[in-house]
Amino acid sequence: MSEKEKAHPPDEDLVRGSLAGDEGAFRDLMERYKRRAYGVARGIVGDPDEAQDVVQDAFVKAYYRLKDFRFGSNFYTWFYRLLVNQAIDRWRKTSRSQTIPFDEAWVSGDTSDPEAMVYPKTPEELAENRQLSEGLTRAIAALPEYHRTVILLREVEGLAYEEIARVLDCSVGTVMSRLHYARAKLKGALKGFREG
């Protein structure tokens, strides 16, 4: 094993270690994916505390289901499937009755000239632009849950269509159509913003 692999062992090695009873190996896996997992869960369930609970539950579940992991496939695809199911279940239990309307004022874009807008380039710039940040939160929350999930897995996690299809147990065509819809909706929302 190279020095690099020792310092940053592949996921599969950590899975093997976990299965052999090495708790530290599973902890390393968790540390590796917890931020990304939280980002996905936060996008799906909306609430920060709920999202953290989802991540925690997904890792506990993953620990006990590691024996079902098929070596040769990606750990994160396998784990995201647990995570996403957990997040969607949680979202349905807590928010099913709440329907967030998509703000048509954002999607019209009639009065805005896209070339006149200056969009943030860093997380810090976005955090300072509370109007845009909160607007994005609302726009994401207004998407149907599977569309929200697809676009987060694609744009934030960078998963391939085929990987998303495996995570969501649907066809690649379904992924494409959901992604198309979600992008169009969020594009419309962004058009409503101007600089400042």
Partner 1 sequence: MDCTKAREMIQDHIDGRLPPDSARAVREHLGACRACAAEEEELRRVGDMLRLWSAVQVGERELALSPLWTRVRAGIEERKEPGLARLLRRWFWVPVAAIVAVVALLFYPSDGARVPFHPKSFDVTVESLESDTATVALVDKGKGLPRVIWIIENGKT
Applying CB under 8 A, which part among 72-80, 81-89, 99-107, 186-194 lies near partner 1? Answer: 186-194
Given 14, 15, 42, 192, the residue binding partner 1 (CB under 8 A): 42
Determine if 154 is a binding residue for partner 1 (CB under 8 A): yes
H or E, element range at 24: helix 23-45
Q: Which residues contact 182 (CB under 8 A, 6 or more apart)?
A: 143, 147, 148, 150, 151
Task: Give the separation between CA 174 and CA 164, rounded to whole angstroms.
Answer: 10
Report residue 30 as tokens: 């968790």
C-alpha–C-alpha distance, residues 132 and 195, integer Å: 10
Under the criterion CB under 8 A, does residue 38 sit at the interface with partner 1? yes
Q: Does the footprint of partner 1 cover residue 122 (CB under 8 A)?
A: yes
Q: Provide, rounded to whole angstroms, the least separation between the CB of residue 122 and partner 1.
A: 7
Residue 118 sits in the site that holds partner 1 (CB under 8 A): no
User: Is residue 47 part of the contact set for partner 1 (CB under 8 A)?
Assistant: no
Integer Rg of the chain from CA? 19
Rounded Cα–Cα distance for residues 22 and 184 (Å): 46
Q: What are phi and psi of 46, to 5 degrees?
A: 90, -45
Count residues contacting partner 1 (CB under 8 A)?
47
120 binds partner 1 (CB under 8 A): yes
Distance from C-alpha of 41 to C-alpha of 53, rounded to nearest angstrom: 9
Q: Which of 114, 131, 171, 173 binds partner 1 (CB under 8 A)?
A: 114
Report if residue 119 touches partner 1, rule: CB under 8 A: yes
- Give residues in contact with partner 1 (CB under 8 A): 23, 27, 30-31, 34-35, 38-39, 42-43, 48, 51-52, 55-57, 59-60, 63-64, 114, 119-120, 122-123, 125-127, 132-133, 136-137, 140, 151-152, 154-156, 161, 176, 179-180, 183, 186-187, 190-191
